[in-house]
Amino acid sequence: MAEASRRAGWGRLRRWLFVLVALVLVLIGALAWYASDAARVVTLFAEVLRRDLGLALTHAPEPEVSLFPSLRVELRDYRIDVVATGRPLAWGSALELEIPWRALRADTLLIERVVLEAPVFHAAGLEGWTLRRAGDAAPPRWPRVAGGVLVRDAKYISSGAPSRVFEHIDLAISPIEAGRELVADASWTRDANAPALDLDLTGATRNTDDGLALDDALIVLSERNGPALRFAGKLRYADTTRYAIEGRGEAERVPSVIASLVAATDPQPPTQFTLALTADSTHWRLVANGAVAGAALDADLRIAALPDLSRPLPELFATLERDVSGHFRIARLRVGDIAFDNFEITGDEAPAPQQ
């Protein structure tokens, strides 16, 4: 009886070993097939970027393929340029495509998630980039990425002169799809001595005749474990030069990055304001009313180019005089180390602050 039991146990063990070896061989075969097909996946991804977003992808040859913990194709030393201008928009050492297992038998590109590690984004690349192709009346198409896009430890370079650099940016974006809620979370640090900032965006997406709309959008800007500013309204996006934001902002206390601009008193009065911002290829229009950290605000501006508040005051005022028209009044404003009371811009004249 004991001998029969041992033989039965050994038989079961051999069957399990056979199954295990078969599974390993299948996985090795799948990986070998997938690795040989990685070039097809990358080619399809590049075609989608060019066709739907107007972006050109280049990278080092021989993509790296891994099987665990998921199917992944990694592109090294990549660069993303704007097709219309040839300007670089982003570059980095690693761009990873997570692919679902069903992609092994799919005829079209299937992407679970796109992950960018330590990329560098340059704002100058946004100039001249449009999501709409010439003669195409249909709204922009967004690539289908089931799990969204994840960006870790990014760097952003502004287009000013001199440019400003923002580092340690993390960003997670859910899939962009009409009828589906959009969720985006971002965090970054201004400098080593400032608290980290978090920006959360949610909204119900809807296709429009020329782009994408977010109805019932909610934007929350907050310091890590600190005060938060909530902005509720609507967003419209056609391309990088045409968009609109309108809504109402409220906060018991605003984050220090905003409070420092209006030289807020302590204790800080509540913030309540309405804002409408529109942009096209020639100018921005800003209409705002209310109070920010207790500083009364009334503005109706047409802006040809955004001013760089870090510039010396004479240069800043010259820029405002040249590129800004309309009126802007705020009870308090801090520019660098200097605070103004009743800062005002009226008509096409130079700003006339009262210090």
- Specify the pTM: 0.75
- Looking at residues 332-355, what average pLDDT do you find? 69
Instruction: Pick left, alpha or beta for residue 226 (phi over 0 → left; psi -120 to 50 → alpha; otherwise beta).
Output: beta
- Say what percent of the chain tops pLDDT 90: 28
Which of the pair, 163 or 111, is modelled with greater confidence? 111
Question: CA-to-CA distance for 253 and 327, rounded, in angstroms?
Answer: 26
- Looking at residues 42-64, what average pLDDT do you find? 86
> Which range has the worst mean pLDDT, 24-28, 155-159, 223-227?
24-28
Name the residue ranges covered by the structural domains of the chain.
Answer: 1-36, 38-176, 191-355
Residue 289 has pLDDT above 90, yes or no: yes
- Looking at residues 150-169, what average pLDDT do you find? 82
Check whether the bond before 139 is cis (ω within 30° of 0): no
Residues 12-24: b if buried by 16+ CB within 10 A, e if exposed:
eeeeeeeeeeeee
